[in-house]
Amino acid sequence: MNVPDDRQYTLEHEWIDSQGRVGITDYAQDALGDVVFVELPEIGQTLKRGQSFGAVESVKSVSDLYSPMNGVVAAVNQDLAEHPDWVNQDPYGSGWIVQLSERSGGDELLSADLYRLKTGGDQ
Amino acid sequence: MQTPLTSWHRRHGAKMTTFGGYEMPIEYQGILEEHRLVRESVGMFDVSHMGEFLVQGPKAPDFLDRLVTKAPSRLQPGQALYTFLCAPDAGTVDDLLVYRRGTSEFWLVVNAANRAGDWAWIRDRLPTDGVELIDRSDETALIAVQGPKASEILGPLAGNEVLKLKPFRFFNEVRVANTTVMISRTGYTGEDGFEIYASAHDAEGLWEQLYRQGIPPIGLGARDTLRLEARLPLYGHELSRSISPLEAGLARFVDLEQSEHFVGQEALRRQREVGLASTIVGLELTAPGVARSGFSVVDGDQTIGVVTSGSFSPTLKKAVALALVPMKFHTVGTPLELVIRGRRVPARVAATPFYQRNRSAR
């Protein structure tokens, strides 16, 4: 399971990079299966750390999205409306979900090493 | 519990889940791809979790006529029917297939989750003599081969004998890939196909031979999306102790005029005479979102019903659902709303089945 070192993670299987982009991890997309719809927040919405801001729907199940930090939704990945499968195919790249600005409260984020450990160490 | 194929599924990288108490494969390569394979080509399912009961004896035909909603005594040997066990109050105890194997020998195929309950239900109604009930579930494996290419690929393996089978007909004993099986032209996908009953002992050898012929294994995930598109009911969702076959829109599998009175017949007749309070309808979401089982259906500020099954339809590429709603909302085109995680999403009543195969091509 792919866990890039250049970003931070949450126990809810999300990642956030230095630009404030947020997505779900390889582990999460694999567990969900084929993604068919991503429910996105409004641009400008203020989010608290841990707040639910959307959901990823696969054929079989649904997973809520929780904000990894406090921040403001600066951008959403509109391409996912046409290509929800990008979340499966490229979860750390073209499958990004939102971008947060004015970020704070990231002290509980996990490093890649710690995330690997917390998700069983066999990823 | 495990089926005779559980370890095969694990070895071949299936994602596993528990269904009806059994460890079953949910998907191998992804539900969308597996769904497509069955709609466009062929695939096979391990459905060995289903329960199989043998009912035999001189009084078996008469006994079954009084037990299920359509008379098995009218079947010819080699013919099967889809029917229901109903409670005296018209609620559904289970949906099942009844195969007539001989003059006084019948084969019942029931849902895994209902196996113990059905067994007790039937046993409690057995006459003092003349009918024997035998549980064959543990020694029986069931493999479904489904898809437009099912006959083309199974034909050579079964000496082309199986191609003669019409829907809901079966051969009691036939050789398929050097294994003695019972095979019927039945299924749960909305496609042409076959269901093969083999001894648990032979299951892995048979499955492996079918696999080597190029038939891909399909998980329960795609089985659910395939059956939903074809509007085939799933017990515990569209049918339950509180949803009768008539409310589920399955009146064609209920013979209310039958002279041998079956359990639940009076209550079902009353439902028909008084008129149904509610019914299962198809819904299409008209905005993005996916409705799931248990979500509320609303009209204005009133909750009027509940989603019984819902998913993204891989064939239609949009979300569809089945829902139990009051009769007055059953007309195709009726606008309704669904509540998805607190958000209201517009939907409308749609014609079902959502998907129907093109039979003229055969």
**Does B31 sit within 8 Å of A59, measured CB to CB?**
yes
- Residue B159 inside a domain? The answer is yes
Quote the CA–CA distance of A46 and A73 in Å, as a whole number: 6
- Residue B272 inside a domain? The answer is yes
- Residue B361 inside a domain? The answer is no
Q: Is the pLDDT of residue A123 over 70?
A: no
The domain boundary, picked from B137, B156, B173, lies at B137
The domain boundary, picked from B137, B159, B180, lies at B137
10 Å CB burial of residue A13 (0-12, 13-18, 19+) is: buried
- Looking at chain B, which residue has its C-alpha nearest residue A62? B290
The domain boundary, picked from B87, B111, B137, lies at B137
Confidence of residue B260 (pLDDT cuts 50, 70, 90): confident
* Tokens describing residue B203: 């299951």
pLDDT digits (tens, 9 = 90+) for B302-358: 999 999 999 999 999 999 999 999 999 999 999 999 999 889 999 999 999 999 998
Confidence of residue B362 (pLDDT cuts 50, 70, 90): very low
Residue B311, chain A, CB below 8 Å: the answer is: yes
Task: Please provide residue B275's backbone torsions phi and psi, each rounded to the nearest 5 degrees.
Answer: 100, 145
Are residues B168 and B294 located together in one domain of the fold?
no
- Residue B243 inside a domain? The answer is no
- Residue B11 inside a domain? The answer is yes
10 Å CB burial of residue B251 (0-12, 13-18, 19+) is: middle
Are residues B34 and B162 located together in one domain of the fold?
yes
- Looking at chain A, which residue has its C-alpha nearest residue B34? A34
Q: What is the ipTM of this complex?
A: 0.88
- Please give the DSSP secondary-structure letter assigned to residue B215: P
Residue B34, chain A, CB below 8 Å: the answer is: no
- Residue B292 inside a domain? The answer is yes
Are residues B270 and B319 located together in one domain of the fold?
yes
* Tokens describing residue B35: 């769904």
Quote the CA–CA distance of B303 and B337 in Å, as a whole number: 9
Are residues B338 and B281 located together in one domain of the fold?
yes
Query: Containing domain of residue B128, as a range?
Result: 52-137
| Domains, in order of start, for chain A | 7-111 (2.40.50.100)
pLDDT of residue B253: 97
Between A39, A55, A59, which is nearest B32 by CB? A59
Mean pLDDT computed over B245-262? 94
Are residues B256 and B345 located together in one domain of the fold?
yes
Integer Rg of chain B from CA? 20
Residue B314, chain A, CB below 8 Å: the answer is: yes
What is the torsion angle, in degrees rounded to the nearest 10, for the CA atoms of residue B44, residue B47, residue B48 and residue B52? -120
- 3-state percent helix, strand, coil for chain B, nearest multiple of 5: 25, 35, 40
- The count of structural domains within chain B is 3
Q: Is the pLDDT of residue A120 over 90?
A: no
Closest CA to A58 of A76, A87, A36: A36
pLDDT of residue A121: 56
Mean pLDDT computed over B273-282? 97
pLDDT of residue B358: 83
Are residues B63 and B119 located together in one domain of the fold?
yes
CATH for B101: 3.30.70.1400
- Residue B239 inside a domain? The answer is no
CATH for B224: 3.30.1360.120
Closest CA to A2 of A118, A116, A117, A84: A116
Confidence of residue B360 (pLDDT cuts 50, 70, 90): low
CATH for B315: 2.40.30.110
Mean pLDDT computed over B92-97? 98
Q: Is the dihedral of CA B28, B29, B31, B37 positive or negative?
A: negative
Q: Is the pLDDT of residue B176 over 90?
A: yes
Are residues B164 and B96 located together in one domain of the fold?
no
Are residues B68 and B155 located together in one domain of the fold?
no
Quote the CA–CA distance of A68 and A73 in Å, as a whole number: 12
Cα→Cα distances B247→B80, B281, B300, B353, Å: 23, 10, 24, 16
Q: Measure A110 CA to nearest chain B CA, in Å.
A: 27
Are residues B91 and B17 located together in one domain of the fold?
no
pLDDT digits (tens, 9 = 90+) for B108-154: 999 999 999 999 999 999 999 999 999 999 999 999 999 999 999 99
Are residues B261 and B345 located together in one domain of the fold?
yes
**Does A33 sit within 8 Å of B31, measured CB to CB?**
yes
- Residue B362 inside a domain? The answer is no
pLDDT digits (tens, 9 = 90+) for A40-84: 999 999 999 999 999 999 998 999 999 999 999 999 999 999 999
* Tokens describing residue B43: 């695939």
**Does A60 sit within 8 Å of B26, measured CB to CB?**
yes
Q: Are the beta carbons of B158 and B181 closer than 8 angstroms?
A: no
Are residues B260 and B343 located together in one domain of the fold?
yes
Residue B32, chain A, CB below 8 Å: the answer is: yes
**Does A64 sit within 8 Å of B31, measured CB to CB?**
no
Residue-averaged pLDDT of chain B: 96
**Does B288 sit within 8 Å of A81, measured CB to CB?**
yes
Are residues B267 and B328 located together in one domain of the fold?
yes
